[in-house]
Amino acid sequence: MNLVDTFSEFKSMKNIDRPTMVRVLEDVFRTLIRKKYGSDENFDVIVNTQQGDLELWRVREIVPDGEVMDDRSQISISEASSIDEDYEIGEDCYEQLFLKDFGRRAIMAARQTLISRIMELEKDEVYRQYSQRVGEIILGEVHQPLKREIFIIDDTTGNELVLPRNETIRGENFRKGDMVRGVIKKVEVRNNNPIVVVSRTDPSFLEKLLEQEVPEIEDGLITVKKIVRLPGDRAKVAVESYDDRIDPVGACVGMKGSRIHGIVRELRNENIDIVNFTNNESLFIQRALTPAKVTSIVIDEEAGRASVYLEPDQVSLAIGKGGTNIKLASKLTGYELDVFRNVDEMEIDDVDLDEFADEIEAWIIDSLKGIGCDTARSVLELSKDELLRRTDLEDETVDEVLGILAAEFDGD
């Protein structure tokens, strides 16, 4: 039994640099020496991590027999001669120590200490390494899909990462062995273990996918100003070019959509709107509501709201399916957007919702206006199911509102 056989396995620790490994090994063995000899002042610990060699040497000054004053730092000539007969008085005597000199129990304790120290170092290294990579895309293989999270193995480092189910796109179902891409969202510590959290829903994932597909973004010619997403459904990206010769939207979409198609497939057919950023807030709101065509906008900066007026056939486009378009446009611009039909287009025999303020509560009227209904007929044109889906109104409230509005036209 010797040091090399027992500890050489630790030389293969890939995540720990050699100087750190040497320091840890030396520290563990000096602790072993202090426990047996009371001090480590006259001992050399030699570590060769490349070959797995570890040597311990006790160094003492050779003095004449009977003149040993401190056996920690001195050794008699007769005892030194038993180690090597060529030693002479006044020289340093080098005595090699072996595991058997410390006893099995002490060695096992040292081994456990070393394992513990190395595990802590590896954890620290994983935390440090991935903390520096937050925001990067990783490719990994699904190792263990569980109910609430999916464990994946980093294809580059072999480390285990976590993809929470709430960070996956709706409808995704990964199986063991599947390859999956995501962005490193954060690194946190749970029960003293570093946990690397991966996301496919974070806006930064879409940003990094764009960076991979659009060289102008990677080169800094185009900047992604802001991204908002409803993962798997729709996203809006505001981009800006610092070179007047480059059309940022066209560059991101690519010829016949060549650059954006791959990203859309990766995100399970997420509809991606790319718009030109501008400091002109009115124009930016107009662009954010694409594909709808806006007639006019009135901004209330103090309230953080904007009233958007559109032709009747553009209202549904501005709101989008399930309100997705107007939700994302609000997030992108930072304004709460209220959509209205152009007053000039109001039917002659129609009635403004505000005229019903005595019968319908103000918050209900505001809720209806929020989905683009500002007249009685515009509400009645929608089915009850659609009103329930697009507003937060209760079933009974919708019935009551429809009854009040319908009564206004009963004599027509």
Q: Which tokens go with 161?
A: 């990462």
Residues 103-129 have a mean pLDDT of: 83
Instruction: Note whether 247 and 229 are same-domain residues.
Output: yes
**From the CB of residue 58, how many other CB atoms can be counted at a distance below 10 Å?**
19
Looking at 111, 129, 147, which one is the last position of a domain?
Answer: 129
- Work out the pLDDT band at 133, boundaries 50, 70, 90: very high
Instruction: Note whether 26 and 96 are same-domain residues.
Output: yes
Instruction: Note whether 189 and 238 are same-domain residues.
Output: no
Q: Can you give the pLDDT at residue 211?
A: 94
- Work out the pLDDT band at 347, boundaries 50, 70, 90: very low
Q: Which tokens go with 55?
A: 């040597």
| Mean predicted lDDT score pLDDT of the chain | 87
Q: Can you give the pLDDT at residue 249?
A: 94
Number of domains forming the structure of the chain: 4
Q: Is residue 207 part of a domain?
A: yes
Number of residues that make up the chain:
412
Instruction: Note whether 163 and 244 are same-domain residues.
Output: no
Q: Is 150:181 a contact under the CB 8 Å cutoff?
A: no
Strands 271-276 and 92-97: unpaired
Domain that holds residue 101: 3-129
Instruction: Note whether 68 and 122 are same-domain residues.
Output: yes
Report in angstroms the alpha-carbon separations of 330 from 186, 227, 324: 27, 12, 10
Question: How does pLDDT run across 189-232, given as a tens digit for each residue?
Answer: 988 899 999 999 999 999 999 999 999 999 999 999 999 999 99
163/185 Cα distance (integer angstroms): 10
Q: Is residue 47 part of a domain?
A: yes
Q: Is residue 137 part of a domain?
A: yes
Residues 317-337 have a mean pLDDT of: 93
Residue 210: which of 244, 241, 239, 243 has the closest Cα? Answer: 239
Q: Is 320:352 a contact under the CB 8 Å cutoff?
A: no
Instruction: Note whether 44 and 96 are same-domain residues.
Output: yes
Any idea what the CATH number is for the domain that residue 171 is in? Answer: 2.40.50.140
Q: Which tokens go with 23?
A: 């320091």
Any idea what the CATH number is for the domain that residue 390 is in? Answer: 1.10.150
Determine if the peptide bond prior to 164 is cis (ω within 30°): no
3-state SS, one letter per residue, for the chain: CCHHHHHHHHHHCCCCCHHHHHHHHHHHHHHHHHHHHCCCCCEEEEEECCCCEEEEEEEEEEECCCCCCCCCCEEEHHHHHHHCCCCCCCCEEEEEECHHHCCHHHHHHHHHHHHHHHHHHHHHHHHHHHHCCCCCEEEEEEEEECCCEEEEEECCCCCEEEEEHHHCCCCCCCCCCCEEEEEEEEEEEECCEEEEEEECCCHHHHHHHHHHHCHHHHCCCEEEEEEEEECCCEEEEEEEECCCCCCHHHHHHCHHHHHHHHHHHHCCCCEEEEEECCCCHHHHHHHHCCCCCEEEEEEECCCCEEEEEECHHHHHHHHCHHHHHHHHHHHHHCCEEEEEECHHHCCCCCCEHHHHCCCCCHHHHHHHHCCCCCEHHHHHCCCHHHHHHHCCCCHHHHHHHHHHHHHHCCCC
What single letter denotes the amino acid at residue 351?
Answer: V
Any idea what the CATH number is for the domain that residue 235 is in? Answer: 3.30.300.20
Q: Is residue 80 part of a domain?
A: yes
Q: Is residue 319 part of a domain?
A: no
**% of the chain beyond a pLDDT of 90:** 49
Q: Is residue 43 part of a domain?
A: yes
**From the CB of residue 343, how many other CB atoms can be counted at a distance below 10 Å?**
10
Instruction: Note whether 7 and 93 are same-domain residues.
Output: yes
Looking at 114, 129, 144, which one is the last position of a domain?
Answer: 129
Backbone angles phi, psi at 91, to 5 degrees: -85, 165
Instruction: Note whether 54 and 96 are same-domain residues.
Output: yes
Q: Can you give the pLDDT at residue 6?
A: 47
Any idea what the CATH number is for the domain that residue 23 is in? Answer: 3.30.1480
Q: Is 326:339 a contact under the CB 8 Å cutoff?
A: yes
Looking at 185, 200, 215, which one is the last position of a domain?
Answer: 200
Instruction: Note whether 191 and 144 are same-domain residues.
Output: yes
Instruction: Note whether 8 and 117 are same-domain residues.
Output: yes
Residues 180-185 have a mean pLDDT of: 96
Instruction: Note whether 87 and 189 are same-domain residues.
Output: no
Q: Is residue 95 part of a domain?
A: yes
Q: Which tokens go with 59?
A: 């160094």
Instruction: Note whether 271 and 381 are same-domain residues.
Output: no
Q: Can you give the pLDDT at residue 236?
A: 97
Q: Is residue 373 part of a domain?
A: yes
Question: How does pLDDT run across 234-261, given as a tens digit for each residue?
Answer: 999 999 998 888 999 999 999 888 999 9
pLDDT at residue 15 tops 70: no
Question: How does pLDDT run across 42-60, given as a tens digit for each residue?
Answer: 898 887 756 656 788 989 9
Q: Which tokens go with 328?
A: 């994302």
Q: Can you give the pLDDT at residue 2?
A: 43
